[in-house]
Structure 1
Amino acid sequence: MPNYTVTVATGTQWFAGTDDYIYLTLMGTEGCSERTLLDKPLYNDFERGAVDSYDVTVGEDLGEIELVKIEKKKYWVQDDWYCKYITVKTPYGDYIEFPCFRWLVDDKEVVLRDGRARLPQHDKKAGVAKQHRHKELEQRQKTYRWKEWHPGFPMSIDAKAHSELPRDIQFDSEKGVDFVLNYSKALSFIFGTQMKIFLLKSESFLSLHWKQHYHFQGPERIENLYVNQFMHMFQSSWGDFADFERIFMRIKNTISEYVMEHWKEDFMFGYQFLNGCNPVVIRKCTEIPDKFPITQKLVEASLERGLTLEEELKEGNIFIADYELMDGVTANATDPCTLQYLAAPICLLYKNSQNKIMPVAIQLGQTPGEDNPIFLPTDDEYDWMLAKIWVRSSDFHVHQTVTHLLRTHLISEVFGIAMFRQLPAVHPVFKLLLPHIRFTIAINTKAREQLICECGLFDKANGTGGGGHVELVQRSMKTFTYKSLIFPEAIKERGMDSKEDLPYYFYRDDGCRVWEAVTSFVADVVNIYYEKDETVQEDEEIQAFVKDVCSFGMQDFDQCEFPKSLQTKEQLVEYLTIVIFTASAQHASVNFGQFDWCSWIPNSPPTMRKPPPTKKGEVDLKYIVESLPDRGRSCWHLGAVWALSQFQENELFLGMYPDEHFIEKPVKEAMVQFRKNLGEVTKVIKNRNEGKKLPYYYLSPDRIPNSVAV
């Protein structure tokens, strides 16, 4: 009687093992095996990280094994199981791999195809394999449903909480715990510092009140007195910049400390437009807008080359950062005790003779007038300082809500949902993209549940909380285009593509290197499965995927110009490169520098508590400090930027594919070449950074996680 050897691998993540009953059925072209319980007496099967082998004896030849069915049945209590893969060795010496990499929950079954990737047109129309992929997609479309979180937003997953998500896309236990621990760690540092400051400042207060209250009211009254005094101080303004430094020094790093030391300097202000957290706002200025009435007389003291402003414009030395998107956004009013304010500044920047980008003029509103002065480097020290702080605060809001949330998190979720809905596990594009949407839907669901929801972290700490962040996304969606996700095109559209004009724009240089490496890898994989352009056109599943992204995920917004179909291999390569690059490199470039650049509060205030100045000469240091976030909002902000900037334990970086969804040798060779190309990029960046006080490493491939997962 024919004998098959079946090997089953259990995952290594927490709680991957199971004590439930596991049954297996082999399904071949000539017949099926009996439903077989996989069990070895006196042996604990399916432990975490285990690889178990079993003999399955059948009465007759099954022919070519097409599918493997796994069933899990409750033993005592429901016990989820994570299966990595199954291999089958046939009586004839054939060795067939069945990748799984999914959870089996409740009394559910999973039917697996072998690991060879297949396009839909390559399966027989009436065959078992064709039926399997159709059934898989039908089930997925019931499980992964679109939902509109807010009007005008990209669509998201239909789940109110992380616990409602399909088990396969939830965080691994340790992944979720790491995020909580990182956030708690930051807060413990911060609140610990606050308590020390409180005790020092309250020593005389406590000694005075101890004698007065202890004898008559007892120790509980004294404890309440301490707490009330602490909370009052916690909600109060800082005394000066030295107060900020006390809280900051507990969790600083090399770059953040450098920022703290140099944040007042114009070169540091300008540098951040190129290589800070939000290096996507600055653009070359070819004509001064009417709403920003800059004259030669206003800026001539800042122009170094002896050229007029008009001549500097023609030479390509003038740049602009316009925060028009912020104009009229509703400021946070969730705390009736604290007024908060927003601005929509315009900043003119100049490339000096040392190729540094320097601010030369700032207007804090979009409408010129006497109550909207243009601030200059030649103004009073505090006028100029506060104007720059307002720009940095506005930049923080645009970064968090548009650059980071919308253009990496939300758009990656759209790609991920559409992928699950329209591409079966056997499709090569599913295998290619799956590592790059890992945990993305989960982190976004957690964000909607805890961070950007009503009374979430945004409401506690940010000037755009209470609904302003929603308005920003809705406004940004009106100008969001598919083309803007093509990294080289986005750089070119802003006039920032010339290395001669801007030799120190590392975000551009490193991003283009990584984009080229991803494009080359995607092209290698596409060429393996798509012989010609017609193969792309005939792939009904890839066409459904692209259409689902546009028509449902992006709600068919005409201005977005997302394609509804792909006609050529080149278009497919570009599309898949966008998905991978956005989820990996682009997210890394705007996420993991948040603590570096935003932890020193005066450099990136999450809110402002006084309105923008309408006149010059009325600002002093006390006014500036009272404009900045209070102690409580500063602590919430610091905890957030710390947690968001941390890599997770066992992080998977770009090019790392430990789950072998692909079994074909040509794809594995393409992965090896991809890692080699990425290694070369890493080496270039490492060499450039050596000895630099401000290294730029956010787009170094060894620091780019595969997916949006934090």
Structure 2
Amino acid sequence: MGRYRIHVATGAWPFSGSFNRVQLWLVGERGEAELELQLRPARSQVEEFEQDVPQDLGPLQFVKLRKHHSLVDDAWFCDRITVQGPGALEEAAFPCYRWVQGEGLLTLPEGTARLAGNNTWDVFQKHREQELEERQQIYCWATWKEGLPLTIAAGSEDDLPANMRFHEQKRLDHEWSANDYRVRKWFMDIALKHVYSLMRSWNSLEDFDQIFWGQKTALAEKVHQRWQDDELFGYQFLNGANPMLLRRSTSLPSRLVLPSGMEELQAQLEKELQGGSLFEADFILLDGIPANVIQGEKQYLAAPLVMLKMDPSGKLLPMVIQIEPPNPSNPTPPLFLPSDPPLAWLLAKTWVRSSDFQLHELQYHLLNTHLLAEVFTVATMRCLPGLHPVFKLLIPHTRYTLDINTRARNQLISDGGVFDKVTSSGGGGHVQLMRQAMTQLTYRSLCPPDDLADRGLMGIPSALYAHDALRLWDIIARYVEGIIHLFYHGDDVVRGDPELQAWCREITEVGLCQAQDRGFPVSFQSRAQLCHFLTMCIFTCSAQHAAVNTGQFDWFAWVPNAPCTMRMPPPTTKEDVTMDTVMGSLPNVWQTSLQMSITWLLGRPHLDMVPLGHHKEEYFSGPEPKAVLRQFQADLDKLEKEIMARNEQLDLPYEYLKPSLVESSITI
């Protein structure tokens, strides 16, 4: 006979506990024992039991549990179960971190990560094969739109597996925030003041102040005050909400047609080019995208090209803007210069900022983070069992992603959703734009060391996104390498892991629709290749999403700085631009109100946020993975202090990649 000490931990979420009775079994190498426990789990509680077992079970392999119910199936969120057997120096841990529903038998393996084996009699091998069979029935692929990454097969968040949905606290916070008093008050005030003119233009730029009040960030206020300045315009390409488009010029773009009389400008451009200080932002992806029609009013899109120079102090300043590319009907489109009439130059910059809004939201935010993270999540659930070290490494970075993406497809980018109602790329253009962006999505573009090198942005002191992204990439890479090297002792082990190779193929060939021609691997041949790919996955799901999501309120709440739509065609001459032209081009009263409200909802602090590296779930057992995680946390804390010290010296602090503000997964 031996005495076993059992701890059962229940989640802290609302309704995590259960009034149903739970039955437990211990399964060891030499036997199995049913425990005579009266367990009714309570939220946030760790219940301790001691139980005498008449036989020697040997090293524990599994805990099995069944939740019984009579009238009501009261779901239980089980965190983990730990057991210390007779004579054992350490507890055996059985991670769960999922909802227990119905009366089926749930088997939890001991938490030590294990690679797939070749022994068909291995109980762990049987468990992992059965687990994947069950998961592949639950997690199925679907095509939301042809030409885009595949998604989870779920019509709404209610169709998702229970373990992928928001917990109750998160759900209520997310849904209630849409009806937040301040948001409703914004709409009410606007409706009262402009009840007969919601679809009309504002009369002046100062009129936008009527809704730019209440809670706002210090940076949003600076944008409000300085959005017309060329310096802030250029700064946003380096460190704004979308730092992904700028690149150093290696030649003058072929689309930049300089008519006669502009020899001085050409000489200036060539001088900056030779000095390595000429940069460009080309929005050519928007060329040919059909513009939206909102409540019967045609909207407009453009595909600008911006040429900028970097002065010795690190300021990035615009030199010339071409709003539209040349075409047969307009082979020499007008070029706008800082020396032009102020309103003409302001309107040209506003066209650029509106175009940046479209690419930011659809290409760099939605496609390159949200939809990619969904592919990683579904492939992980379909191909990697819970015992696999890569599953244990990645699962904290998939939290809530399927839920938030499903909501986005039903509310933001759906037919009649927010994009259709308010943006110039809505009404179908947004889908066409993402299809175009998908053809340009390369593996290198998702890896900052490659992407920043390709764009010529390495080593620029004023490029704060680039600096912080590289530092975070390196920290994540060391963490990944530390975990992977514990379980893969050579390249041959990587090549010989069938579950890992299936996961790789599932991402590239299935989820990303045959993306191998754009550099995505279809197999892993070495530990280094695997570590690089995993670093990309974690960086995309955490740091990169933070970089393109967190600043939306800062940069987009003052609507003239990032108009969601333009309501007049681009100017063809400079002399005829008046304030009426500017105001007639900017979003109307209703569109402005909606943009401000949405950016507040997206950019506000939200409950249940888990910073990178600080998830509470303990999926790994044993001291070695925990030591790697502690070093990861120490490295993140060091970077946090470095960024805080740097930001104290800056007029415009860059905080989007400060580790404490980087969420571990995509949840908003």
| TM superposition score normalised by structure 2 | 0.96
Q: CA deviation at 1:374?
A: 0.9
Q: CA deviation at 1:289?
A: 2.0
Q: CA deviation at 1:689?
A: 0.8
Alpha-carbon spacing, 1:250–1:196, altered in 2? closer, same or farther (3 Å) = farther
- How do residues 323-342 of structure 1 correspond to structure 2 at under 5 angstroms? 323-336=283-296, 338-342=297-301
CA distance in 2, matches of 1:567, 1:532: 10
CA distance in 2, matches of 1:374, 1:399: 24
Q: CA deviation at 1:364?
A: 1.1
| Counterpart residue number, 1:563 | 521
- How do residues 53-132 of structure 1 correspond to structure 2 at under 5 angstroms? 53-93=48-88, 95-121=91-117, 124-132=119-127
Quick check: 1:458–1:464 contact (8 Å CA) kept in 2?
yes
Any unmatched runs of 5+ in structure 1?
Answer: 199-229
Structure whose CA Rg is larger: 1
CA distance in 1, matches of 2:32, 2:634: 44
CA distance in 1, matches of 2:594, 2:501: 44
| Counterpart residue number, 2:27 | 27
| Counterpart residue number, 2:396 | 435
CA distance in 2, matches of 1:38, 1:391: 67
Counterpart of 2:56 in structure 1: which amino acid?
D
Per mean C-alpha deviation after superposition, the further-off stretch among 558-567 and 448-457 is 558-567
Q: CA deviation at 1:118?
A: 0.8
Counterpart of 1:278 in structure 2: which amino acid?
N
Deviations 1:374-416 (A, max 9, x none): 1111111111111100000000000000000000000011011
| Counterpart residue number, 1:364 | 323
Counterpart of 1:260 in structure 2: which amino acid?
H
| Counterpart residue number, 1:167 | 162
| Counterpart residue number, 1:275 | 239
Q: CA deviation at 1:192?
A: 4.0
Counterpart of 1:473 in structure 2: which amino acid?
M
Q: CA deviation at 1:315?
A: 1.0
Q: CA deviation at 1:196?
A: 5.6
Per mean C-alpha deviation after superposition, the further-off stretch among 366-375 and 448-457 is 366-375
- How do residues 230-249 of structure 1 correspond to structure 2 at under 5 angstroms? 230=195, 232-249=196-213
Quick check: 1:19–1:75 contact (8 Å CA) kept in 2?
no
Quick check: 2:516–2:522 contact (8 Å CA) kept in 1?
no
Q: CA deviation at 1:53?
A: 2.6
| Counterpart residue number, 1:344 | 303
- How do residues 645-660 of structure 1 correspond to structure 2 at under 5 angstroms? 645-660=603-618
- How do residues 2-401 of structure 1 correspond to structure 2 at under 5 angstroms? 2-34=2-34, 36=35, 38-39=37-38, 45-93=40-88, 95-121=91-117, 124-185=119-180, 186-195=182-191, 197-198=193-194, 230=195, 232-294=196-258, 298=262, 300=264, 308-336=268-296, 338-367=297-326, 369=330, 372-401=333-362
CA distance in 1, matches of 2:22, 2:139: 26
| Counterpart residue number, 1:472 | 433
Deviations 1:169-192 (A, max 9, x none): 101111122223333335224224
Quick check: 1:187–1:635 contact (8 Å CA) kept in 2?
no
CA distance in 2, matches of 1:86, 1:275: 45
- How do residues 606-625 of structure 1 correspond to structure 2 at under 5 angstroms? 606-625=564-583
Counterpart of 2:286 in structure 1: which amino acid?
M
For the residue of structure 2 that corresponds to 1:24, the secondary structure is strand
CA distance in 1, matches of 2:256, 2:139: 48
CA distance in 1, matches of 2:337, 2:269: 15
Quick check: 2:191–2:198 contact (8 Å CA) kept in 1?
no
For the residue of structure 1 that corresponds to 2:309, the secondary structure is strand
Q: CA deviation at 1:251?
A: 3.5
Q: CA RMSD in A?
A: 1.8
Quick check: 1:260–1:600 contact (8 Å CA) kept in 2?
yes
Counterpart of 2:368 in structure 1: which amino acid?
R
| Counterpart residue number, 1:532 | 490
Aligned to 1:493, which of 447, 454, 466?
A: 454
For the residue of structure 1 that corresponds to 2:178, the secondary structure is helix
| Counterpart residue number, 1:217 | none
CA distance in 1, matches of 2:522, 2:332: 48
Deviations 1:45-93 (A, max 9, x none): 3111111233444443333321111111223312111000111222334
CA distance in 1, matches of 2:604, 2:395: 22
Deviating above 6 A after TM superposition, structure 1's stretches of 4 or more consecutive aligned residues are none
Alpha-carbon spacing, 1:140–1:260, altered in 2? closer, same or farther (3 Å) = same
Per mean C-alpha deviation after superposition, the further-off stretch among 679-688 and 555-564 is 555-564
CA distance in 1, matches of 2:113, 2:641: 33
Counterpart of 1:692 in structure 2: which amino acid?
L
| Counterpart residue number, 1:415 | 376
For the residue of structure 2 that corresponds to 1:98, the secondary structure is strand
Counterpart of 2:236 in structure 1: which amino acid?
Q
Aligned to 1:483, which of 417, 424, 444?
A: 444
Counterpart of 1:478 in structure 2: which amino acid?
T
Quick check: 1:288–1:294 contact (8 Å CA) kept in 2?
no
CA distance in 2, matches of 1:580, 1:187: 33
CA distance in 2, matches of 1:613, 1:107: 67
CA distance in 2, matches of 1:486, 1:451: 28
Quick check: 1:69–1:110 contact (8 Å CA) kept in 2?
yes
Deviations 1:622-644 (A, max 9, x none): 12111111111112211211111
| Counterpart residue number, 1:404 | 365
Deviations 1:142-201 (A, max 9, x none): 111111110000111000100110011101111122223333335224224315634xxx
Counterpart of 1:291 in structure 2: which amino acid?
R
CA distance in 2, matches of 1:424, 1:440: 19
Counterpart of 1:159 in structure 2: which amino acid?
A
Counterpart of 1:402 in structure 2: which amino acid?
Q
CA distance in 2, matches of 1:521, 1:664: 16
Quick check: 2:294–2:422 contact (8 Å CA) kept in 1?
no
- How do residues 676-691 of structure 1 correspond to structure 2 at under 5 angstroms? 676-691=634-649
Deviations 1:340-368 (A, max 9, x none): 11111111111234331111111111116
CA distance in 2, matches of 1:136, 1:533: 27
Quick check: 2:557–2:596 contact (8 Å CA) kept in 1?
yes
Counterpart of 1:132 in structure 2: which amino acid?
H
Quick check: 1:115–1:661 contact (8 Å CA) kept in 2?
yes
| TM superposition score normalised by structure 1 | 0.91
Q: CA deviation at 1:294?
A: 3.3
Alpha-carbon spacing, 1:620–1:476, altered in 2? closer, same or farther (3 Å) = same
CA distance in 1, matches of 2:548, 2:263: 31
Quick check: 1:323–1:394 contact (8 Å CA) kept in 2?
yes
Counterpart of 2:128 in structure 1: which amino acid?
R
CA distance in 2, matches of 1:462, 1:141: 37
Quick check: 1:324–1:345 contact (8 Å CA) kept in 2?
yes
For the residue of structure 2 that corresponds to 1:279, the secondary structure is coil
Counterpart of 1:320 in structure 2: which amino acid?
E
Per mean C-alpha deviation after superposition, the further-off stretch among 645-654 and 185-194 is 185-194
For the residue of structure 1 that corresponds to 2:65, the secondary structure is strand
Q: CA deviation at 1:21?
A: 2.1
- How do residues 529-678 of structure 1 correspond to structure 2 at under 5 angstroms? 529-678=487-636
Quick check: 2:509–2:516 contact (8 Å CA) kept in 1?
no
Alpha-carbon spacing, 1:691–1:561, altered in 2? closer, same or farther (3 Å) = closer
Quick check: 1:284–1:316 contact (8 Å CA) kept in 2?
yes
